[in-house]
Amino acid sequence: MILVAFHLEYQITVDEDRNRVTCERFEELSLAIDLPFFLSDWQRALSYMKVNFTVLCDARCRIGPNVRLMPLYLRLHHLWLEAHVGIVAEVHPTVFNMQQISRVLREQTKLPVQLFTDRAEAEAFLDNFRLGLAA
């Protein structure tokens, strides 16, 4: 596991063996006005990935959606698509409004995303996706 970035708002790690990027979003992300290194951190993480990589986005620790970051998230989704993402698993708390931004972004980019409320289930799903590609 390679630590690509660690900030108050998020952490990004890479697992080259699984061809997976994991992003954990922290409470501070809910209040952030700007994330100056976010896209460059993601570009660095994507440089380790091969086609059909998977993304695990764990957003369970956020205290609420941050609509100010929508343009940034939209650019991130386009980065994933350009890098040939296989699928994204997002782990959200069970509170419905936390999934609203994800829904809007998916509608705009047609990014392949599965939603979960349990991280272990999301990881198992991504592992099965990866094994399905190897078959």
* 0.75 surpassed by pTM: yes
For 19, list phi and psi in degrees, rounded to 5: 55, 50
For residues 128 and 101, give the distance between their C-alpha atoms in angstroms, rounded to a whole number.
26
Per-residue pLDDT of the chain (135 residues; tens, 9 = 90+): 999 999 999 999 999 999 999 999 888 888 888 899 999 999 999 999 999 999 999 988 877 777 888 899 899 999 999 999 999 999 988 765 556 666 667 677 778 888 898 999 999 999 998 777 654
- Would you tell me the crossing angle of helices 70-82 and 38-46 to the nearest 10 degrees? 10
Number of C-beta neighbours around residue 36 at 10 A:
8
d(CA 4, CA 13): 5
Q: What is the pLDDT of residue 27?
A: 85
pLDDT for the residue 95: 64
Per the document, the length of the chain is 135
What is residue 101's predicted lDDT score, i.e. its pLDDT? 65
Q: Which two tokens stand for residue 48?
A: 């380790």
Q: Which two tokens stand for residue 122?
A: 């999301």
